[in-house]
Amino acid sequence: MVKKIEKELKNYEMMVVLKPLLPDDVRKEVHKNFVDLLKSLKGEIVDIDVWGKRYLAYDIQGHNEGYYIVYNFKAPASSIAECRRKLELVQEILRYMIVEAEHPEDIGRKIKKKEMDLDI
């Protein structure tokens, strides 16, 4: 039974760009809500890479900077649409992109930009 569930999980990578002037507690709340959402959809976080504040190539909603977080996670393919729908409703997110990970064996091997002090 466990192997069947594991085969159904696909590896995904998601980059989230948050509004740049959010306090740490709001960023942590957005992160916690995403982790809870993923768990409710039968997924799991594999790796998190916090890039921090970066300049955007063009203004998004009047912001020229954004706070970047990259998530690597496993989830059933059927849950991605629901995940996207919920992320659209979060006002603190400027942009996000979810793609299927090309090289899941490399997840967690790259140098981290920053560590987010959160319990997963």
Residue 18: per-residue pLDDT: 95
pLDDT grade for 102, boundaries at 50, 70 and 90: confident
**Chain segment 55-66, per-residue pLDDT in tens:** 999 999 999 999
pTM above 0.85, yes or no: no
Query: Which residues, in sequence order, are CB contacts of 118 under 8 Å at separation 6+?
Result: 28, 31, 32, 48
Say whether pLDDT at 104 is over 70: no
Please list the residues that pair with 49 across neighbouring strands: 70
Using the CB atoms, write b or e for 24-41: b if 16+ within 10 Å. Answer: eeebeebbeebbebbeeb
Q: Hey, where are the domains in the chain?
A: 2-103
Q: Are 79 and 43 spatial neighbours (Cβ–Cβ below 8 Å)?
A: yes
Fold of 2-103: Alpha-Beta Plaits (3.30.70)
How many percent of the chain have pLDDT more than 70? 80
pLDDT on residue 119:
47
Q: What is the pLDDT of residues 45-94, one digit of tens each?
A: 988 889 899 999 999 999 999 999 999 999 998 999 999 999 999 999 99
Beta bridge partners of 10: 75
| Of 107 and 45, the one with more pLDDT | 45
